Structure 1
């Protein structure tokens, strides 16, 4: 039990520091000092700072993709699917504010950097989930055909920005009316 507690403390400390300072700006010494452990303890559990980020990505990154995949299921009602997806982004961000801050930082990391390469599979999986939703919706919204990637990217970026704004503003939750307005304003241009 104590080992699990120590491991969680290290992960939570790294997550918070990476989220607020950036992966590259945080050193192993800062993590161990804040976590109240020694370097050998960190190395025992994670081998390196990279191992810490990989552990966060494999747990919280996977939780994010699972959450969005479940919400982005197309059920014949595109508006509802988009609303559910947006709400899932916001809810995940509010429940995991440090990880969502880190998520946003990793999305903007330089393309060849270590943190970007570690996080790239999560980013690609999220993009694919949302793209598939838009592809499926072209059966009803034929005027989206050929523009699915553009629209899905715009929606993904908007959902991420809105979720991060909710975290930054300390919003407890976003109500259904607000979700409706945001989703309606997004699809207004192509959902005749």
Structure 2
């Protein structure tokens, strides 16, 4: 015979365990989501821990249970958001396709992510251009480096197509990333409807064509 009392205790413990884990996940994600919203609206340096707690409806001890500091929170947030597109950029950078196809895929990743998460994209740019000794820049720097390394890799692999690449990878990678960031930033700045900001495939083609062929194209 089954011990119904024992089964009830086991089930209750299991159910409560699920509830606790779910609450833990929900609290952590709520903190990340609320901090992202505040950082995008006001900038990282301008947001206090107390504001994040108020926005998330939690206490400071709860926040510090999940993250050691505001900086630790930013690090976790950047890792989560970078992985939404940075991992794909890195994967594409190892492709053996023709360089024009690889760059087109990279440009599409940039613009599709910016279309879907423009505030996050703009936050990345703001952090990247923060003072070099600031926490904001220190947090974003590893991801800036990863992105740059991925783009440099594309030009390294294109030596057979573009000829001698010695010393030119840095210039080409910088120009490509600059073209993507500048276009997205200015396109958003002058957009008539920022709430439904969107970059279509023709823009991907046009920006890449401009990068590859220059002013006289």
* TM-score, normalization by structure 1: 0.88
Could you tell me which runs of 5 or more consecutive residues in structure 1 were left unpaired when the two chains were aligned: none
2:113 paired with 1:92? yes
Tell me the equivalent position of 2:205.
180
| Cα contact 1:79–1:184 (8 A) shared by 2 | no
> 1:31-66: CA deviations, max 9, x gaps?
111111111111111121111101112221233320
Tell me the equivalent position of 2:37.
16
Please state how far the C-alpha of 1:147 moved relative to its aligned partner.
1.8
Equivalent runs, 1:29-108 vs 2, <5 Å: 29-108=50-129
Q: Indicate the larger mover: 143-152 or 29-38.
A: 143-152
Larger-Rg structure: 2
Once residues 8 and 167 of structure 1 are traced to their aligned partners in structure 2, the CA distance between those partners, rounded to angstroms, is 28
With a CA cutoff of 8 Å and minimum separation of 6, indicate the structure with the bigger relative contact order: 1
Over aligned residues, Cα RMSD in angstroms? 2.3
> 1:77-111: CA deviations, max 9, x gaps?
21111111011011122233332122111110111
* TM-score, normalization by structure 2: 0.79
SS in 1 for 2:130: coil
2:180 paired with 1:140? no
Once residues 168 and 196 of structure 2 are traced to their aligned partners in structure 1, the CA distance between those partners, rounded to angstroms, is 33
Once residues 73 and 176 of structure 1 are traced to their aligned partners in structure 2, the CA distance between those partners, rounded to angstroms, is 23
SS in 1 for 2:199: coil
| Cα contact 2:151–2:173 (8 A) shared by 1 | yes
| Cα contact 2:103–2:208 (8 A) shared by 1 | yes
